[in-house]
Amino acid sequence: MDFLWSGLLLLLAVLPVVVAIYIWSLRRGRRSGVRYSSLTLIRDAEPGSARIRRHLPFVLLVGALGALVLAVARPVVILAVPTNQTTIILTIDVSGSMCSSDVPPSRLEAAEAAAAAFIGSQSSSTRIGIVAFSSFAAVVQSPTNDQTLLLNALHSLATGRRTAIGDGILASIDAISEVDPAVARSQSDSTPGTAPAPVPQGDYAPDIIVLLTDGASNTGTPPLDAAQQAADRGVRVYTIGFGTANGGALSPTCAPQFVGREPGGGAFGGGGGGGGGFPRGIDEATLKQIAAMTGGTYHPAETASQLDSVFQNLPTNLITEHQVTEISVAFVGFGALFAALAILLGRAWRPLP
């Protein structure tokens, strides 16, 4: 359970004050009463039921006040409702290091094959979109259930320099917002505007982002800033770190424009090494944090078969739509019930000491 106006829960601090005043008033009343030689005699003379009748109305009244304070804070619960309309954005790194041949024929071609198998395994009601990112991000294919369009988009991917993971996440959010009005577009320096109010914790959209990269972000929006925007919209991000620790030379069929001009540093975004080798330079800590912030999970993969397994085990068949239901009326009802009982019992037991 969460509260939309959680700041008002500070009003609960009034309850201990009310209890303290009640105890003080009881003790003050005793001082003005008749003195007895022993309090034990008074306690023995007063039946236990009389003490209960004396204090129970007050306890019920305090409970009523507490329930009304909780109602004012607007409590909500998150209900998971199965949905038959899901949007999945495949966000694929196309920096030059994705043409490393350590995963034959290349990391990019192995990723394309795994993504194609994943697309083919989805139901006709699942919308899939494709976002590619290197120095910038672009929506290669808007979300659709037309598998021919999706496969053509995969085969059209071209590599570039650098790795803008954050921009890839923001472009994926925008792709989702085109088909799901409940998800607001991303915010950036180039697209200023009022950021949407964060969704309640645990409230997820029926849309996910699957982000695959072999490197670390070195340009564009900081990845964790982009992840926060996804979290604020309830969009989960599942991250995949792809490639081997040793890397490999560039595949000439994947990136012929780079062969012979490989940088010695990390200009391709996947880390660099001498002789055209590109060891895996994944920033696993950031990828894990992105997943944790948004409610997704991180998956490493060093071979094509491992990548296939990661794709096929994504929880796409368990995606539910989360609905926020306010339950203030229930607390108002409890408060009214406790208050009515306190008044009725107080009047009924008034003749008793």
**Residue-wise pLDDT tens for the chain (353 aa)?**
677 777 777 877 878 887 787 777 777 765 555 555 555 555 555 555 666 767 777 787 778 888 888 887 877 776 655 555 689 999 999 998 898 889 999 999 999 999 999 999 988 888 999 999 999 999 999 999 999 999 999 999 988 889 999 999 999 999 999 998 889 999 876 666 677 888 877 778 889 999 999 989 999 999 999 999 999 999 999 999 999 887 778 887 775 544 444 444 444 455 443 344 566 678 999 999 999 999 999 999 999 999 999 999 988 755 555 566 777 778 788 778 877 877 777 777 665 44
What is the pTM assigned to this prediction? 0.66
Task: Please state, in angstroms and rounded to a whole number, the distance separating the CA atoms of residues 243 and 189.
Answer: 33
Cβ neighbours, 10 Å, residue 312: 12
Query: Cα dihedral sign for 41, 43, 47, 53?
Result: positive
Spell out a b/e string for 218-229, using b for 16 or more CB atoms within 10 Å of the CB, else e.
Answer: bbbbebbebbbb
Q: Is 90 helix (H, G, I), strand (E, B) or coil?
A: strand
Instruction: Sort 16 into a burial class: Cβ within 10 Å, 0-12 / 13-18 / 19+.
Output: exposed
Q: Where in the chain is the domain with CATH 3.40.50.410?
A: 84-318
Residue matched to tokens 């200023």:
192
CB 142 within 8 A of CB 88: no
Helix axes 107-121, 304-312, angle to 10 degrees: 30
Task: Please state, in angstroms and rounded to a whole number, the distance separating the CA atoms of residues 131 and 231.
Answer: 19
Cis ω on the peptide bond leading into residue 105 (within 30° of 0)? yes
Of the candidates 210, 345, 222, the residue with the CA atom closest to the CA atom of residue 283:
222
**What fold is seen in the domain 84-318?**
Rossmann fold (3.40.50)
Task: Please state, in angstroms and rounded to a whole number, the distance separating the CA atoms of residues 286 and 205.
Answer: 23
Question: Given this model, what pLDDT does residue 260 score?
Answer: 45
